[in-house]
Amino acid sequence: MSARPIPAVTEVNLLVAKNCTEHHTDKYEATQGDAPKLVLRRGQQFNIDIAFDQNFDAERDFLILLFYTSSRPSASRGTEITIPVWRSKSENRRRWNAWLETDGGGKVAVAVYASPDCVIGIWNMQVLVMRKEDGGSRRPEVTRHVVKDIYILFNPWIEEDMVYLGDESLREEYVMNDIGKIWRGTSTFFRPTVWNYGQFEDKILDACMTLLERSRLSYSHRGSAIQISRTISAMVNANDDNGVLIGNWSGDYSAGTAPTDWQGSVQILDQWASSGRPVMFGQCWVFAGVANTVLRALGIPARVVTNFNSAHDTDTTVTSDVHIDEKGNRLDDLNTDSIWNFHVWNEGWMARADLSKDRVYDGWQVLDATPQEKSEGVFRVGPAPVAAIKLGEVGLQYDSAFVFAEVNADKILWVHREGVDQAEAAKIDTTTIGKFISTKRPGALKPANQDREDLTSIYKPREFSAEEREAVLNALNNSNSEARYAYNLRNPEILECKVAVPEGGTNIGENFTVSAKLKNLTVTEETAQVTIQVESTYYNGTIHQMIKSSANTVTVPVGEDVEVSMEVSAAEYLGKLVDQASVMVAALVTMEGTEEVHRVEESYRVQLPEITIEVEDSLEVGKETNVVCFFTNPLDNDLTGGKFIIEGPGIEKPIEIQPGDIGGKSEARVNTTVTPKHKGSKVLLVSFSSDQLKDLDGSLAVDVL
């Protein structure tokens, strides 16, 4: 007697629209179009319909789902999962399971649950059917049907996932929002750039999966947000592993794209994934913008954070050390530490059960893809728990000491005197490092700084409070810092010295005045030699060239303030500025009859014009609409080699327009058309650069009907 035929699968309906809506993945373009992909979040039920070539009898037929990923699937590594399809629902929410929701005839409805700690990546599925009566056979007869390319991501909507974020408004911002702001500038003048994260755009999810594959991260670690986020911080830079972006702080970007020309991550990730070669060029905010895209695309809640006056500690002292001679001049061969006008990194939200059983380090973790220093032999930073950084607990994984120094290092001025072997700790500045730590506040975009959220109090206690000094001491001791002895070597100061820059800001092309302010702290009149210097700088603290310097001898009466000023004309600084129009203002002060020496510095940035965007009609899906972008050249001379770049996620891919030469004090105006692809609240972005003027941008929030 011949065996009863086994039902063969004729079709598996992945119910993409239904499942993706329920899993909050329906915005991915991969889930749309003629060949939509199933994109799921782990730890959550999804449904499939299975059709057979004959009736499926649940009493006599048995269904098995085999999920597998990687080139060599293995049950021990969590990359091969065998799931019997039971007739009733399982309540176990820690492991994979599946059950029949309806059966009968030639079609069944199956519910599947992926474990909340499963591997993140692209999975395949086999549907196996066998006869129950063959269950005891060594080689039972089965029919198989293969379904390829099921994407499984982190799930911040469920408590069982280590990236769970309980507030829906925060999930909407830190997972679902594809537009954000990144702050740049100096502590005395900063403004945001709108950035297109574009995590749902075409090809971006695949690019993120490619990043994981090229990283060679073990599949056994691909269920961990800790390990995946650490891998992202390494792979977004190209220093060790043929990653996404090559960093360049030289000012010469002729071999690629200037960092200030990028407006978003989409072009960068697409170019990298399709070419297989690193993209040129990035700086810190570009690295952070791209990393944020990858984190959000994979389902890890993430935000971009800017720290002004950010210390780069190169020697693990958790201090920022400045070395000068007895006249106040920098000793550049000793000055390996630096203070960046600003530095940008990411925070990712996740549990840190690896650090503490009571979970005090859960929450925001610092991740930094900018290649500054190596961590375990690779250029990367984090995840470092923000809660630990605030307390100065710098021994915790990963890279907490480095991040602590960025936000709360003391700046120590070391004076090297001729004939004296040991440098003198002349001044310890406890308040300069770590200012206005900024991110975008959840919600709709608002003009300028109106939607800036200040995170400074999350990273450190109030400056010079007992709690803040305790955190610094804790960090110094826990890191065995060689700078600890400096706190016992200082003499009382005769003068207090500060640098003042224009409070209202200076538009490029205008003159500005800087000054040194001196206060006599003694009971006798003092005489000081005061030199004021203004130098053009890159934003990472590297000096480009001297713009102007002046020296004066001044008498400072007892208990009084004296101000020494210097005007800098536009003619003196134009042509000497580099990226982002930053200058360093320094006051060098030496005292007659004493060994006291001061060097006080303040970064400053002249302001660039913003670009205005106007839309001539309502924006509607599929409708071509005119867009105008314009600004006024603030300089007397022509702008040459100029280009506008206009884009908008869900509206238009980047368009480059070259307007030709723009006369001095003349308006630059370009017209183009856009054709929106998706409804909803969107943003148009525009940037401009030329030979004489770079880093101009503008944005416009719009509603697409």
Active site residues: 343, 368
C-alpha 619/C-alpha 638 separation (Å) is 34
- From the centroid of its chain, how far is CA 339? 19
DSSP states along 53-100: SS---TTTEEEEEEEE-SSS--TTTTSEEEEEEESS-----SS-EEEE
**Residue environment code for 96-110, b if the CB has 16+ CB neighbours within 10 A, otherwise e:** bbbbbeebeeebbbb
Q: String of b and e for 367-392 (b: at least 16 CB within 10 Å)? A: bbbbbbeebeebbbbbbbbbbbbbbb
Distance CA 538, CA 580 (A): 8
Cβ neighbours of residue 510 under 8 Å, at least 6 residues apart? Answer: 570, 606
- DSSP secondary structure code for residue 31 in this structure: G
**Token digits of residue 38:** 């199933």
- DSSP-derived pairing of the beta strands 45-52 and 9-13: antiparallel
**Rounded to the nearest 5°, which phi and psi values hold at 352?**
-125, 60
Q: C-alpha 3: how far from its chain's center?
A: 61
Q: Which residues pair with 323 in a beta bridge?
A: 414
Helix/strand/coil percentages in the chain, nearest 5: 15, 40, 40
Residue that has been written with the tokens 């004489």 in this structure: 692
Task: Please answer whether residues 122 and 209 qualify as being in contact, where contact means their C-beta atoms are separated by less than 8 angstroms.
Answer: yes
Residue 155, CA distances (Å) to 163, 298, 470 in order: 7, 9, 38
> Two tokens at 255?
């071999």
CB 128 within 8 Å of CB 143: yes
Contact in structure between 527 and 553 (CB atoms under 8 Å): yes
Q: Output the six-digit token pair for 28.
A: 């991915």
Type of residue at 289: G
Residue 300: both structure tokens together: 């890890």
Q: Please measure the distance between the N-terminal and C-terminal CA atoms of the chain and give it in whole angstroms.
A: 66
Measure the CA–CA gap between 346 and 289, rounded to whole angstroms.
Answer: 8
DSSP string, 357-398: TT-TT-EEEEEE-S-SSEETTEE-EEEEEHHHHHHT-TTSTT
Strands (E) located in 450-525 = 452-454, 495-500, 512-520
| CB neighbour class for 434 (10 Å; exposed up to 12, middle 13-18, buried from 19) | buried
Asked if residue 675 lies in contact with residue 625, where contact means CB atoms within 8 angstroms, the answer is yes
For residue 538, give every residue at least 6 positions away whose Cβ sits within 8 Å of its Cβ, in sequence order, or none. 249, 251, 544, 578, 579, 580, 582
The answer to whether 674 and 624 are in contact (CB under 8 A) is yes
CA angle 316–320–324, rounded 5-degree value: 120
> What is the layout of strands, in order, in the sheet containing 338-350?
381-385, 363-368, 338-350, 302-312, 435-440, 452-454
Task: Please choose, from the candidates 3, 28, 13, the residue with its C-alpha nearest in 3D space to the C-alpha of residue 650.
Answer: 28
Contact 561, 519 (CB under 8 A): yes
- Helix H or strand E encompassing 475: helix 466-478
State the DSSP code for 7: P
Residue-by-residue DSSP string for 644-663: EEEEETTTEEEEEE----B-
